[in-house]
């Protein structure tokens, strides 16, 4: 069985500041890792994913996450945030059989001017 812990429930940050949203997971098998973003009153959108290969993955809007197997982490970072990045961010894992995503409890990112 897998589990996901997002270490911060809320992260307030000023516009143009860097941000890191932390995610740790637990699993007895190899996993795939995902970050989803949820804007108010909308469904979840895939932000980025790690399936294999390079441990550093990037999104089209400047976010990146690094898979660290030894620390069982998949932290999400952005060097300079915008007001529009304000949303709820969810880290998720699935085993290599796929089909079931296990989500963390979410981190609310609030970007202030």
Partner 1 sequence: EAGVVQSPRYKIIEKKQPVAFWCNPISGHNTLYWYLQNLGQGPELLIRYENEEAVDDSQLPKDRFSAERLKGVDSTLKIQPAELGDSAVYLCASSLDRGTSSYNEQFFGPGTRLTVL
**Interacting residues with partner 1 (CB under 8 A):** 4, 9, 32, 34, 36, 41-46, 49, 51, 90, 92, 94, 98-101, 103-106
Nearer Cβ to partner 1 (13/44): 44
Distance CA 91, CA 82 (A): 20
Distance CA 27, CA 92 (A): 12
For residue 70, the minimal CB distance to partner 1 (Å) is 23
Nearer Cβ to partner 1 (15/22): 22
Residue 52 DSSP symbol:
S
Q: Beta strand pairing status for 31-38 and 44-50?
A: antiparallel
For residue 16, the minimal CB distance to partner 1 (Å) is 28
For residue 94, the minimal CB distance to partner 1 (Å) is 6
For residue 15, the minimal CB distance to partner 1 (Å) is 25
Nearer Cβ to partner 1 (97/113): 97
Return left, alpha or beta for 43; rule: phi > 0 is left, psi -120 to 50 is alpha, else beta. beta
* Beta-ladder partners of 52: none
């Amino acid at each position: 069985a897998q589990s996901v812990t997002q270490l911060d429930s809320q992260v307030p940050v000023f516009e143009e500041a860097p941000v890191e949203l932390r995610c740790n997971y637990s699993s007895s098998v190899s996993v795939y890792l995902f970050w989803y973003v949820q804007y108010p009153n909308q469904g979840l959108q895939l932000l980025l994913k790690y399936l294999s290969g390079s441990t550093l993955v990037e999104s089209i809007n400047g976010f990146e996450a690094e898979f660290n197997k030894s620390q069982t982490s998949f932290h999400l970072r952005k060097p300079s945030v915008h007001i529009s990045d304000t949303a709820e961010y969810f880290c998720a894992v699935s085993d290599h059989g796929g089909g079931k995503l296990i989500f963390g409890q979410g981190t609310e990112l609030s970007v202030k001017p």
